[in-house]
Amino acid sequence: MRVTRNLITGGAGFLGSHLTDRLMEAGEEVICLDNYFTGRKSNIAQWIGHPRFELIRHDVTEPIRLEVDRIWHLACPASPVHYQFNPIKTAKTSFLGTLNMLGLARRVGARLLLASTSEVYGDPEVHPQPESYRGCVNTIGIRSCYDEGKRIAETLCFDYQRMHGTEIRVMRIFNTYGPRMLPDDGRVVSNFIVQALTNKPITLYGGGGQTRSFCYVDDLIQGMILLMNSNESGPINIGNPGEFSIKQLAEKVRALINPELKFINLPLPQDDPLQRQPDIALANQRLNWSPKISLDQGLPPTLEWFKSIV
């Protein structure tokens, strides 16, 4: 029986490397594509030289010709620090990168999974957010390059499905954390842990009353694989519906590392959503998926990872 050939764009990144691990452990072939803007070769170093693994340095804004069965399209900086560093490049990555991968999928008859985002909902007026909610997004703000980039990426996927019969799977990813996060990515989990490990005050924006839902990376990857293997086009929310205020998260991190640390308050950044919680009824019904790892269970292994690199 022929082994499935997988192409993972952004395969050396946080999510891409965990997906690589799962597919390699399942005996499949993996081609990892990354330009190393936020990906790191160390994340996939254990597979370099393996006969079923191939690593290609490539930017998805440029076309590439490969023979593959499945395309896991994860390439795009996903944290505000990184996607705002070069917002035009971020928009190009979402649009041109997705266009190129859909073109490849059409040519070779591959199935494509798009890693979309909860940011397509913007600063939501509906809570929690179901897939039917169309969002409240600022088209001209500092986060728009990412939010609108992912929205047009979803549009392209469904237009390719309608026009060319391309097999697509669209996954809306909510806040995810775990080992291999970058220490300087500006996300709240990494920010708080790094600040606490270096004995700095923990920074709360806008008092920390805004809410987020935190999904451990192992749960997220399981949901991603179930969606790819299903007959569902999506979009489907994948995230942990447990809702915490940013201050509650800060208190959990402080309790794990140094209960004496102080909090400092700064103004809320532009367009920072006040609430974020996935409605995962669809994932539960169609994929039989729900997260298994709580925030209290997922923070300790994440903390150990940061201890090893900070």
- Give the three-state DSSP class for 294: coil
| Bridge partner list, 264 | 203
Phi, psi of 244 (to 5 degrees): -130, 145
Name the burial class of residue 62, with classes exposed (0-12), middle (13-18) and buried (19+) by CB atoms within 10 angstroms of its CB.
exposed
Instruction: Compute the C-alpha angle 47/48/54, nearest 5°.
Output: 95
Task: Tell me if residue 146 is catalytic.
Answer: yes
- Single out the catalytic residue among 83, 121, 146, 160: 146
Task: Provide the angle, in degrees to the nearest 10, between the axes of the packed helices 246-257 and 295-309.
Answer: 60
Question: How far is residue 116's CA from residue 295's CA, in Å, rounded to a whole number?
Answer: 22
8 Å CB contact between 78 and 60: no
Active site residues: 146
